[in-house]
């Protein structure tokens, strides 16, 4: 397939706040998704810095992924605890990253 260009897929890194976001930032790619499940309680400076660092790390990995078949995003589990049930993650295991494969619902 010499001379054939690989189509670049636009990466939509960001927070998943709704089912529509989940579709746009994960399911629509039909590839693997790495989703950071982050508690976003920011009662102290430490919590705020910790949260911002986790988001920054995920964004950096996404920016470097370019042609990798894994797409990155994150969920504020303080505001959206229902996502923990969806991915079967205990709240005491946070922060964590889950890998989701939409085509197999795994």
Q: How far is CA 58 from CA 6, 48, 54, in A?
A: 24, 16, 6
- Domains in the chain: boundaries: 19-30+38-100
Could you read off the pLDDT of 14-23 as tens digits, one per residue? 999 999 999 9
> Is residue 1 very low, low, confident or very high in pLDDT (cuts 50, 70, 90)?
very low
27: which DSSP letter?
G
13 and 68 Cβ atoms separated by less than 8 Å? no
Question: pTM for the whole thing?
Answer: 0.84
83 and 27 Cβ atoms separated by less than 8 Å? no
Could you read off the pLDDT of 47-89 as tens digits, one per residue? 889 999 999 999 999 999 888 889 999 999 999 999 999 889 9
Q: What is the DSSP string of 63-106?
A: HHHTT-SEEEEEEETTT-THHHHHTT--GGG-SEEEEE-TTTT-
């Amino acid at each position: 397939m010499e001379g054939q260009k690989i189509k670049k897929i636009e990466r939509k890194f960001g927070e998943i706040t709704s089912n529509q976001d989940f579709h746009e930032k994960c399911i629509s790619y039909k590839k693997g998704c790495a989703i950071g499940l982050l508690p976003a309680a920011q009662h102290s400076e430490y919590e705020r810095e910790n949260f911002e660092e986790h988001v920054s790390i995920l964004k950096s990995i996404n920016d470097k992924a370019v042609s990798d078949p894994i797409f990155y995003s994150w969920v504020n589990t303080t505001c959206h605890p229902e996502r923990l049930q969806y991915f079967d993650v205990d709240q005491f295991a946070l922060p964590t990253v889950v890998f989701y494969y939409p085509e197999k619902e795994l």
